[in-house]
Amino acid sequence: MATAKGLCFALEIPLIGVPTLETMSRTALQFPGSHHRFLCPLIDARRMEVYTCIFDENLSVVRELDAVIVDEESFLPDLEKGPVLFFGDGMPKIRPLLEPHANAFFLEGIIPSSLFMAKTAFQKFKAGDFEDVAYAEPIYYKDFQPTTPRKKLL
């Protein structure tokens, strides 16, 4: 974000924010067999937690961004609504729990890629949906919580 802000400021060009989970979903749609009723990008948030939201096939948000502690019931309400495609680096955490469900589908190898940011960025550009270079910040769902190291270094 700092590099993008610096370049935009120096070159006097607009800054366009593109959500990572939307970019991942747009990437997933490029793969054969990825067209399901719902798309669920998952970013590993350590331990048994993922950052996620759910989009429909038109990339409209169905379930808002959330930090979800993964268990067998985390996505049951979504799976009851129809087929859900799960992908992203958080997907291996949920796959063993949800694989038996008939509406759960999984796609390997989806990571955030600038290749698939272009369409969203262009739509925002045409709409004049720009970030304020001075005040734009990344969206961190949870605050950083520093901890004390377990091992003494000295």
Q: How many domains does the chain have?
A: 2
Alpha carbon distance 125, 104 (integer Å) = 35
Selection from 58, 59, 49 nearest residue 18 by Cα: 59
The string of pLDDT tens digits covering residues 73-87 is 999 999 999 999 999
Which CATH number goes with the domain that contains 78?
A: 3.30.420.40
Tell me the residue range of the domain where 12 lies.
Answer: 1-18+117-140
Residues 3 and 68 in one domain: no
Residues 124 and 104 in one domain: no
How far does Cα 106 stand from its chain's mean position?
15
DSSP 72-101: TTTTHHHHHHS-EEEESTTHHHHHHHHTTS
Residues 27 and 47 in one domain: yes
Averaged pLDDT, 49-59: 94
- Total residue length of the chain: 154
Residues 103 and 42 in one domain: yes
pTM, full prediction: 0.82
Residues 134 and 75 in one domain: no
Residue 152 has pLDDT above 70, yes or no: no
Residues 35 and 56 in one domain: yes
Helix ranges restricted to H, 1-154 = 2-11, 20-28, 76-81, 91-98, 118-127
